[in-house]
């Protein structure tokens, strides 16, 4: 389980890392690190939108602890751990609870962001 405070810490530090890399004109590396910051931020938002109060589940057992909460919101059979445990930013955005806002207000920026991949 990745605790909420750990997610926040990772987001802040990946953004700092990206900033340092930008200041050193290491742009490809800064984009790579910033992509992870966005991924982690989306996973943090998923925790909030799906009411994962303990943190982000990393295993099937941890995810199964949230099934009662998901079923309460009629999402238990729709969401599986594989749906949220990956690096695909578009898929993560769907479960984040902010998809409408991002697509409405930042569509062109989001198109650039979705080109990111850890590979």
Cα 112 to Cα 108: distance, rounded to the nearest angstrom: 7
> Can you give the residue range of the structural domain that contains 62?
4-113
- Model confidence pLDDT, tens digit, residues 24-64: 999 999 999 999 999 999 999 999 988 899 999 988 888 88
Q: Is position 118 within any domain? A: no
Q: Is position 62 within any domain? A: yes
Q: Judge contact between 30 and 18, C-beta under 8 A.
A: yes
Cα 92 to Cα 94: distance, rounded to the nearest angstrom: 5
Q: Is position 119 within any domain? A: no
Q: pTM for the whole thing?
A: 0.89
Q: Is position 19 within any domain? A: yes
| Number of domains forming the structure of the chain | 1
Q: Is position 36 within any domain? A: yes
Cα 83 to Cα 104: distance, rounded to the nearest angstrom: 23
Give the Å distances, CA to CA, from 101 to 63, 68, 93, 94, 98.
27, 28, 10, 11, 5
Torsion of CA 119, 108, 17, 9, to 10 degrees: -100
- Model confidence pLDDT, tens digit, residues 80-116: 777 788 889 999 999 999 999 999 999 999 999 999 9
């Amino acid at each position: 389980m990745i605790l909420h405070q750990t997610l926040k810490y990772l987001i802040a530090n990946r953004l700092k890392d990206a900033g340092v890399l930008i200041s050193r004109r290491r742009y490809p590396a800064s984009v790579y690190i910033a992509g992870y910051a966005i991924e982690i931020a989306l996973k943090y938002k998923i925790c909030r939108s799906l009411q994962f109060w303990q943190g982000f589940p990393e295993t099937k057992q941890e995810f199964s602890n949230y099934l009662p909460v998901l079923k309460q919101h009629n999402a238990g059979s729709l969401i599986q751990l594989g749906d949220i445990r990956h690096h695909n930013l578009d898929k993560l955005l769907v479960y984040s609870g902010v998809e409408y806002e991002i697509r409405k207000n930042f569509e062109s920026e989001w198109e650039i962001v979705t080109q990111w991949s850890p590979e």
